[in-house]
Amino acid sequence: MNRQACVAHITARFESVVQELLAESSSWAAGHWLYAAEHSTRDRMMAVGRLVLEILIAGQGTGHGGQCHRDALGQERRFKEYRRKRVQTLLGSVSIERASYHSMEAEPTTVCPLDARLGLRQGRSEGMEELLAFTGGQLTYEESSQLLSRTLGVRLSDNTVQRTVAHWGQVVEAERADRLPRQAPAPRMAVAVDGAKLRTAERRRKRRGSRKQHFSEHWAEAKLGVVYAFDRRGKAAATKHYTTSLNGKVSFGQALWDQIAASGADRAEQVVWLGDGAAWVWSLRDEHLPHAVAVLDFYHARDHLHTVARALYGGDPRRRRRWVTCQEKRLLTGHVDRVVRELKRCARSLGPPPKDVPDDDPRKVLADNVRYFETNASRMQYDEYRARGYPIGSGVVESGCKHVIAQRMKITASMSWRAPQAEAVLQLRCLIRSGQWDAFWNLKRLAA
């Protein structure tokens, strides 16, 4: 069919649809008229769209390139037959015809060159794959499949959504550094890191004669980093770039560096590194951004003061409050040395903790916090930080732990994940929440 005949065919089909809608419109119920009109119009327009899509795809040919086909790996296959296939697209299922090539010595044994040209995967268009990954990264798999059914009329199983999310999460993890565009740095930028616990499950070997799958559960830490610009009052900008990993410190450190480099934080005039007292937080800073100003989260330090006050004055809330207020003022005015001296004085009055003493024993609490404040004293110069307009709280990354991780990964208290699936979902969520989804997918299309 030539171009003129295609246009005539589509025009005739469109006119027929309009006539059908006009004829039906008188029977739509009052009070629900527009509801019926928009659904009927959508369904018929999508049918016209599928017709147009099939014609456009047919214009690309069948992918037949002679009796032999050599792929990118140099594997050679012989032409076998033409195959017709139903493909799921954003407009619904369309039919395409493709030439197939086959060889028992190649892997895979059969390929259809047209599939690669069109960007098909598992019988789905790239647009459908993107939508599945996007919805599956924000909703449960069941909710995602229901949403697609309600909005597009596309019926896919929960398992299909899960497998698609797993695939694209792995792609994001593997290709993020190459796909994300480099940005010009803001003058003042911050990097904040923290962690959140997830319940993970590993499949155990089945018991003999049992059909039931057995899993062992344990808690794993998802490390989260966020890179953002801040103003002269220390207030964070609206755009925040997140990165995460369940695969340990080394993997997370590399992912965080990719995000730092893409956001330009390593080239900013002033850069701050925020975190709690965990040793891995500061070793990552020393490894990836040693020139960053190290700031221990003030509110985390204040929580430690409250813990000490409860150990010292557990039954007297007024004394606890007065003691904490005094130490807070010392921290905020740059006198962390006085806080350390006060803690040592209190520790001496209680005496050293015996071996195997419980963690909530006042002597153990004091000894641990003397160590904590001494170790982090150089990161508690809050008077200087505030004078320079630096942020002193890690609320941005703590908020990220809630809406990037917990909101999807801990919907119920008993929710557990296979580690690879959890990692895939986290990668997609970071991309979405960072506002980098379109940049990743647009670069993917350009590179294809």
Check residue 265 and give its pLDDT. 94
Check residue 152 and give its pLDDT. 87
Check residue 180 and give its pLDDT. 78
**Amino acid letter for position 266:** D
Q: What's the rounded mean pLDDT across residues 359-363?
A: 90
pTM for the structure as a whole: 0.87
Check residue 445 and give its pLDDT. 56
- If pLDDT is split at 50, 70 and 90, which confidence band does 202 have? confident
pLDDT tens-digit readout, 83-97: 999 999 999 999 999
* Cα 416–chain centre separation: 17
Percent of the chain with pLDDT over 70: 96
Q: Is residue 213 over pLDDT 90?
A: no
Q: Is residue 424 over pLDDT 90?
A: yes
Percent of the chain with pLDDT over 90: 73
DSSP assignment letter at 183: -
Nearest residue to 59 (alpha-carbon basis) of 6, 13, 9: 6
pLDDT tens-digit readout, 132-168: 999 999 999 999 999 999 888 888 899 999 999 999 9
Reduced to 3 states (helix: H, G, I; strand: E, B; else coil), residue 428 is helix
Check residue 1 and give its pLDDT. 66
Q: What's the rounded mean pLDDT across residues 417-440?
A: 91
What is the spatial order of strands in the sheet that 68-70 belongs to?
68-70, 76-89, 92-102, 110-111
Q: Is residue 285 over pLDDT 60?
A: yes
CA distance 18 to 14: 6
What is the spatial order of strands in the sheet that 188-204 belongs to?
236-245, 214-230, 188-204, 270-275, 293-296
pLDDT tens-digit readout, 314-359: 888 999 999 999 999 999 999 999 999 999 999 999 999 988 889 8
Q: Which residues pair with 195 in a beta bridge?
A: 223
Nearest residue to 222 (alpha-carbon basis) of 362, 54, 430: 430
CA distance 79 to 96: 18
Q: 269 or 178: whose pLDDT is higher?
A: 269
Is residue 63 within 8 A of residue 87, CB to CB? The reply is: no
Q: 322 or 411: whose pLDDT is higher?
A: 322
Contacts of 87 (CB under 8 A, 6+ apart): 93, 94, 95, 96, 120, 123, 124, 125
CA distance 386 to 269: 17
CA distance 268 to 153: 48
CA distance 80 to 419: 41
CA distance 313 to 360: 13
Check residue 412 and give its pLDDT. 79
CA distance 423 to 244: 8
Q: Is residue 181 over pLDDT 80?
A: no
Q: Is residue 376 over pLDDT 60?
A: yes
Check residue 219 and give its pLDDT. 87
- If pLDDT is split at 50, 70 and 90, which confidence band does 210 have? low
- If pLDDT is split at 50, 70 and 90, which confidence band does 177 have? confident
Check residue 82 and give its pLDDT. 94
Across 343-379, b (16+ Cβ under 10 Å) vs e yields: beebbeebeebeeeeeeeebebbbbbbbebbeebeeb
CA distance 193 to 242: 10
Full DSSP string of 181-201: PP-PPPSEEEEEEEEEEEEEE
pLDDT tens-digit readout, 110-140: 999 999 899 899 899 999 999 999 999 999 9
End-to-end CA distance of the chain: 29
Check residue 444 and give its pLDDT. 58
Q: Is residue 428 over pLDDT 80?
A: yes
* Cα 138–chain centre separation: 9
Is residue 307 within 8 A of residue 364, CB to CB? The reply is: no
